[in-house]
Amino acid sequence: MQARSPTTAPGGGGRLSVLQRHLTAVPLSGQVSSATYAPNFCYTLDNDLLTTEQRQFYEENGFLVIKNLVSHKDIDKFREVFERVCKKELTAPGMVVMRDVAIAKSEFVPDQKAITKVQDFQELPELFEYCSLPQIVQYVKCFTGPNIMSMHTMLINKPPDAGKKTSRHPMHQDLHYFPFRPADRIVCAWTAMERIDRSNGCLVVLPGTHTGELKQHDYPEWEGGVNKMYHGVRDYDPSLPRVHLTMEKGDTVFFHPILIHGSGMNRTAGFRKAISCHYASSDCYYIDVKGTTQENIEKEVIELALKRYGVEEILLKDAWMAKGRLVQGERINL
């Protein structure tokens, strides 16, 4: 993929005022850029929801936080469903329950506390309801257009770190996992299910990196081990400014799949919860990842499919085709 240039060069003038206005919506711990420029947008589509300033912010930074988008009532409902999944009272075809690499080995921790993530809940209506919440979908449309597929669903239950720093999520680009394009018509919605800040491992983003290219990802060489499929960007400029997203319960961040992001260690005693869905325009098309940086993730997905379901001869795109669901409009390519 070619590196793309930002729609404009950052300028000093508007930076402070736009940043200050955004700060009233979300507390940030780093620097983001926000120049004033003629609207020549490529990461957002014309719509009657986002203000020009919000569009400019996403174009420039690759993410946008919307305060208080999901009600506490809905979040409490999703939390209860998650607890029932942990107790094995609820299950669904294709749903994957993942365990923390360090905690799962510990015989002293009750079973459900080892669960770090419930993934691919597209067949569990009680959780999938999140993906079709109208207030989320209306924002998603500003990035994908009207034909919307949910492609990847997760409820992340970041556990208290067991001392091995395995609760961290390495810095990565979500596009590494996706064999479909174009990247600009894919967006993630990630909702905080409680207050999330640096103490319990908030999201960390590198603003503006969505304008770059997809990089090589591998397992990071972490002493305490790393969770399954948690690949990290092999090399990125460590001097790039980082922004820690402090979010309140119900706040939702929308971000681009090339944005480099990760999350920190959970230093509290509680389980930090967030629910998320990656959406793509159904006009997106599948690509063959052979010969690309994504070959390693394809290999891992194929090995897992063989181990878990005895399925042979699948491609990365087959796995995605099976879990994509139409949320709005018409199913075209995906």
Ligand X SMILES: O=C(O)CCC(=O)C(=O)O
- In this chain, which residue has its C-beta nearest to ligand X? 263
Ranges within 87-146 binding ligand X (CB under 6 A):
none
| Candidate ranges 75-83, 130-138, 153-161, 239-247; the one touching ligand X (CB under 6 A) | 153-161
Q: Minimum distance from CB of 169 to ligand X (Å)?
A: 4
How many chain residues touch ligand X (CB under 6 A)?
Answer: 8
Q: Minimum distance from CB of 275 to ligand X (Å)?
A: 9
Check if the beta carbon of residue 171 is closer than 8 Å to that of residue 232.
Answer: yes
Q: Minimum distance from CB of 263 to ligand X (Å)?
A: 3
Helix ranges (DSSP H) in 47-152: 52-61, 72-86, 125-128, 134-144
Asked if 151 is part of the footprint of ligand X (rule: CB under 6 A), the reply reads no
Among 60, 100, 161, 174, the residue binding ligand X under the rule CB under 6 A is 174
Cβ neighbours around 51 below 10 Å, total: 8
H/E segment holding residue 23: helix 15-23
Asked if 158 is part of the footprint of ligand X (rule: CB under 6 A), the reply reads yes
Burial, 13: exposed, middle or buried (Cβ in 10 Å; 0-12, 13-18, 19+)?
A: exposed
Among 28, 156, 186, 193, the residue binding ligand X under the rule CB under 6 A is 156
Q: Minimum distance from CB of 295 to ligand X (Å)?
A: 20
Residue-by-residue DSSP string for 275-323: EEEEEEETT-EE---TTSTTHHHHHHHHHHHHHHH---S--HHHHHHHH
In this structure, the strands spanning 96-99 and 243-245 are unpaired
Asked if 244 is part of the footprint of ligand X (rule: CB under 6 A), the reply reads no
- Residues near ligand X (CB under 6 A): 154, 156, 158, 169, 174, 261, 263, 274
